[in-house]
């Protein structure tokens, strides 16, 4: 029996708990949440039957624990994932039953593929990447470690996305564009040219903030 521990009990953590309920079985169960804001527990427990097991900052993995880092902010997500990894954590990749995954897609550890997401032919999804509801990763796309792709995003063929990138809802990235590490793409933006590392872009066509 694998015990799934969700790191992060905020909005996205609760969404992940709801999604996980569709795949629980005699081999896997939701153990609960860890979150550094323990005061969240009473309100959380009114709607979810899963306990807050402790703080992220000092939680020690137990036998059969596997972790999902349900944090939207890429830098924070990577920080937490790497801290847990140093404590010996193993990570669970959540792929919703409705996600469409090409046979030739390469998938990393601890990824989250939400309902109706897609990873197309020869795409590469690195560790701790989140692909939210109804977002598509086109053929031959590379998505770097810890990046967060929000809902209804279209990443087209041969795009390269660096580590720790955040892409807002309903954004599109046109073919062969490179998106630099730890950059941010605003909701609804259409990216037609290279985005520099650490830059923030918005609008259509996307321009630097």
* pTM summary value: 0.95
Quote the pLDDT of residue 81: 98
In the chain, domain spans: 2-92, 93-202
Quote the pLDDT of residue 200: 98
Question: 91, 66 in Cβ contact below 8 A?
Answer: yes
Active site residue 19: no
The pLDDT of residue 176 is above 80: yes
Quote the pLDDT of residue 26: 81
Q: Which of 19, 82, 96, 139 is catalytic?
A: 139
Tell me the C-alpha to C-alpha distance, in Å, between residue 77 and each of 27, 53, 72, 159, 173: 26, 19, 7, 22, 23
The pLDDT of residue 15 is above 80: yes
72 is in an annotated binding site: yes
3-state secondary structure of 27: coil
Quote the pLDDT of residue 61: 96
The arrangement of secondary structure in 2-92, i.e. its CATH architecture, is: 3-Layer(aba) Sandwich (3.40)
Digit-coded pLDDT (tens) for 20-52: 998 888 888 999 999 999 888 777 878 889 999
Pick the CATH number of 93-202 from 3.30.360.10, 3.90.1640.30, 3.30.56.10, 2.160.10.10: 2.160.10.10
> What is the C-alpha separation between 130 and 83, in angstroms, rounded?
18
């Amino acid at each position: 029996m694998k015990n799934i521990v969700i790191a992060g009990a905020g909005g996205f953590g609760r969404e992940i708990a709801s999604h996980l309920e569709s795949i629980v079985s005699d081999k896997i169960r939701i153990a609960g949440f860890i979150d550094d804001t323990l005061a969240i527990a009473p309100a959380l427990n009114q709607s979810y039957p899963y306990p807050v097991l402790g703080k992220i900052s000092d939680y020690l993995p137990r036998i059969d624990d596997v972790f999902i880092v349900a944090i939207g902010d890429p830098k924070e997500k990577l920080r937490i994932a790497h801290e847990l990894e140093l404590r010996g954590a193993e990570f669970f990749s959540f792929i919703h039953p409705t996600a469409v995954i090409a046979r030739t897609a390469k998938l990393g550890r601890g990824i989250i593929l939400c309902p109706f997401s897609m990873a197309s032919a020869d795409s590469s999804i690195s560790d701790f990447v989140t692909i939210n509801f109804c977002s598509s990763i086109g053929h031959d796309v590379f998505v770097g470690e810890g990046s967060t792709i929000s809902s209804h995003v279209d990443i087209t063929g041969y795009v390269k996305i660096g580590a720790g990138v955040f892409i807002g809802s309903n954004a599109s990235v046109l073919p062969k564009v490179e998106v630099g590490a730890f950059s941010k793409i605003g909701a609804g933006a259409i990216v037609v040219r290279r985005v520099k590392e650490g830059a923030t872009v918005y609008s259509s066509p996307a321009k630097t903030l």
